[in-house]
Amino acid sequence: MIFKQFYLPCLAHASYLIGDESTGTAAVIDPQRDTDIYIAFAAEHALRIKHVFLTHLHADFVAGHLELRDRVGAAIYLGAKAKAAYPFTPMADGDIVEFGRVRLKVLETPGHTPESISILVYDLAAAGATDGAQPKAVLTGDTLFIGDVGRPDLRASLGWSASQLGGMLFDSLHTKLLGLPDESLVYPAHGAGSLCGKSLSKETFSTLGEQRRTNYALQPMSKEEFIQVVTADQPDAPSYFTYDAVLNSEERPTLDETLARVNPMTLEDVLALQEVGAQILDTRDPAEFASAHLKGSINVGLGGQFATWAGTVLDREHPIVIIADPGRESEAATRLGRIGFDHVVGFLDGGLHSLQSRPELTVTTERLSATFAAELLASNDAPLAIDVRTPRERQMKHIAGSLSFPLNHLAENLGSIPHGRPLLVYCAGGYRSSIGASLLQRAGFDHVSEIAGGIVSWEAAKLPVE
């Protein structure tokens, strides 16, 4: 048996390919939308991908099940309670897909979503393997993470309450997964950084015994206590989560079809689109963006959690035009396509170099050292410090006198920020502050600067925090 985990750091997403060398057959579980990695790996190992499973209709990314269906003819499998507009095989408790010496057995584990499943992986070539053999691993999707469990509040807009799904999740964990042996390997669909939970570990696999000992949500407690614990203090989910969950149940264009529409554009064409409401997305590093950028553009750098933040601050109603370092335009469009943002209409040909003859179109964002920022904040004409970190981060420490406007809620609170006063934006390290500063500039705030290096550099300079 061939077992391969693929990990996508930007979305903290894990997917899997399981193959059988004797038959040359493989299955892919929870694929990302750009599927070249699976097809290339399968070719290297003389495998053909015949099966593709979704453990649930994912909310935080668009899965690549339709791409694998159309590219290699893979059959699609979903949980028996799933509803989808494309043909699929529904998988209920105990249903099996077997090829050669590989057996995949489904457990229905609702809770994160109603149709969630987990998949037991058996290596039938192992010594003594029989129908009563123990599984080699369990792929838990978003039901059980390393250090956490799936949040049960993401289907509220689709008619399910967090309490309903929380109760299902408790039952799934205790009647299905926790009955497996301690040595069972646990492979989830997400790791640290995902918004599908609140305490996910940076580890990408574990054992059930280790999770039984260390996972806060698996400690002894009543169902009511469990629901209260797992629904408390969950991070805000971006608005695109519901959109992606629905999109994963529909027929839609493949990523290749979407990317074929992304073409180079002249500066004049970009400006014309901007004039009628297009979103200009500058994907360069925050320091490069600060030194010069097209007025009205939004900075979300490719070097951070690009897809998550782009999906948070951009909307789906207006077309997107990309500005990128030459050669990285396709990467930006692909990463947007992973979350279903298929309304990229093109990219500025030549990137920011196209603006060299039009300096009147560019603006800058001053990035201040922590020491100089502290001097300004102590002066008579002090700027207003804007903290765009999460409430939890701010509660731990913040700069005295600053106001809290978490980045994911900044756009809706622009009316609460005074226009006549200079603004000084900060975050943890400088990535989110650049996004925030660009949103403020786009909204008409003229005197916007940011603390280079964020509160990390502030503390490194031995400056006080509260």
**What pLDDT digit, counting tens, does each position of 332-385 carry?**
999 999 999 999 999 999 999 999 999 999 999 999 999 999 999 999 999 999
The three-state DSSP-derived secondary structure of 157-218 is HHCCCHHHHHHHHHHHHHHCHHHCCCCCEEEECECCCCCCCCCCCCCCCEEHHHHHHHCHHH
pLDDT score for 154 = 79
pLDDT at residue number 128: 55
> 108-117, 159-168, 273-282: lowest mean pLDDT where?
159-168
Total-model pTM: 0.93
State the pairing for strand pair 384-387/320-323: unpaired
DSSP bridge pairs for 372? none
What whole-number distance in Å separates Cα of residue 169 and Cα of residue 163?
10
Phi, psi (degrees; rounded to nearest 5) at 247: -60, -35
Name the residue type at position 95: D
- Which residues is 4 bridged to in the sheet? 17
* Residue 313, pLDDT above cutoff 60: yes
How many Å apart are CA 187 and CA 11, to the nearest integer?
16
Encoded amino acid at 316, one letter: R
Instruction: Give me the domains of the chain, ranges plus CATH numbers.
Output: 2-244 (3.60.15.10), 253-359 (3.40.250.10), 366-460 (3.40.250.10)
E runs forming strands in 283-418: 293-294, 298-299, 320-323, 344-348, 362-363, 366-368, 384-387, 403-404
**pLDDT tens figures, 126-172:** 755 555 578 999 999 999 999 999 999 877 656 778 899 999 999 99
Percent of the chain with pLDDT over 90: 90
Distance CA 111, CA 230 (A): 11
pLDDT bracket for residue 423 (50, 70, 90): very high
Number of CB atoms found within 10 A of residue 39's CB: 18
Which of 208, 209, 194, 114 is closest to 161 using CA atoms? Answer: 114
- Residue-wise pLDDT tens digits, 370-411: 999 999 999 999 999 999 999 999 999 999 999 999 999 999
Give the tokens for residue 337.
């396509």
Q: What mean pLDDT do residues 111-139 have?
A: 85
- Name beta bridge partners: 234: none
> Which of 5, 60, 19 lies closest to 312, judged by CA?
60
pLDDT in tens, 198-236: 778 889 999 999 999 999 999 999 999 999 999 888 878
94 contacts: CB under 8 Å, gap ≥ 6: 105, 106
* Average pLDDT value for residue range 438-450: 96
Q: What is the pLDDT of residue 253?
A: 96
| pLDDT band of 252, cuts 50, 70, 90 | very high
Strands (E), 9-74: 13-20, 25-29, 48-53
Measure the CA dihedral 51/90/245/145, to 10°: -70
Whether the pLDDT of residue 80 is over 90: the answer is yes
